[in-house]
């Protein structure tokens, strides 16, 4: 079963083996409002933990999506280019941004579990 971890910036990474699917949480999409544009990195891009991984623009603001862990982009969700609203409709499912081949699994230890993240969101 895939494990999902979260950052304080509201990104999630769903870990399956040595690959992680990255997106933004339901809380984050709700704060952004209607997503109108998503800019994704190129496949093969090396991302550092905390570095900019993608850009999401909504009717309210443009926001960076940061890499929860270091890795190489192995796939992007090209469907978001034509249907960016998918991020609002299904952020944890079809609204994912990219898949990373994780280079340092130890970095996952610094991320929050689902329960920890839900508790964190309650404090905001």
pLDDT tens digits along 86-119: 999 999 999 999 999 999 999 999 999 999 999 9
Strand pairing report for 11-16 and 3-6 = antiparallel
Measure the CA–CA gap between 65 and 29, rounded to whole angstroms.
11
CB 119 within 8 A of CB 6: no
Count the Cβ atoms, other than its own, within 10 Å of residue 33: 12
pLDDT in tens, 41-68: 999 999 999 999 999 999 999 999 999 9
Measure the CA–CA gap between 112 and 58, rounded to whole angstroms.
26
CATH number of 3-122: 2.40.50.100
- pTM of the predicted model, to two decimals? 0.97
Q: What is the pLDDT confidence band of residue 2, given thresholds at 50, 70 and 90?
A: confident
The domain limits of the chain are 3-122
């Amino acid at each position: 079963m895939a494990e999902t971890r979260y950052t304080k910036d509201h990104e999630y990474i769903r870990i399956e083996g040595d690959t992680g699917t990255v997106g933004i949480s339901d809380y984050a999409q709700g704060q952004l409002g209607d997503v109108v544009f998503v800019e994704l990195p190129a496949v093969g891009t090396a991302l550092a933990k905390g570095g900019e991984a993608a850009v999401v623009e909504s009717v309210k603001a443009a926001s960076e999506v940061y890499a929860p862990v270091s890795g190489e982009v192995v796939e992007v969700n090209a469907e978001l280019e034509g249907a960016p609203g998918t991020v609002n409709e299904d952020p944890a499912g079809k609204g994912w941004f990219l898949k990373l081949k994780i280079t340092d699994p130890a970095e996952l230890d610094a991320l929050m579990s689902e329960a920890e993240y839900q508790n964190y969101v309650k404090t905001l």
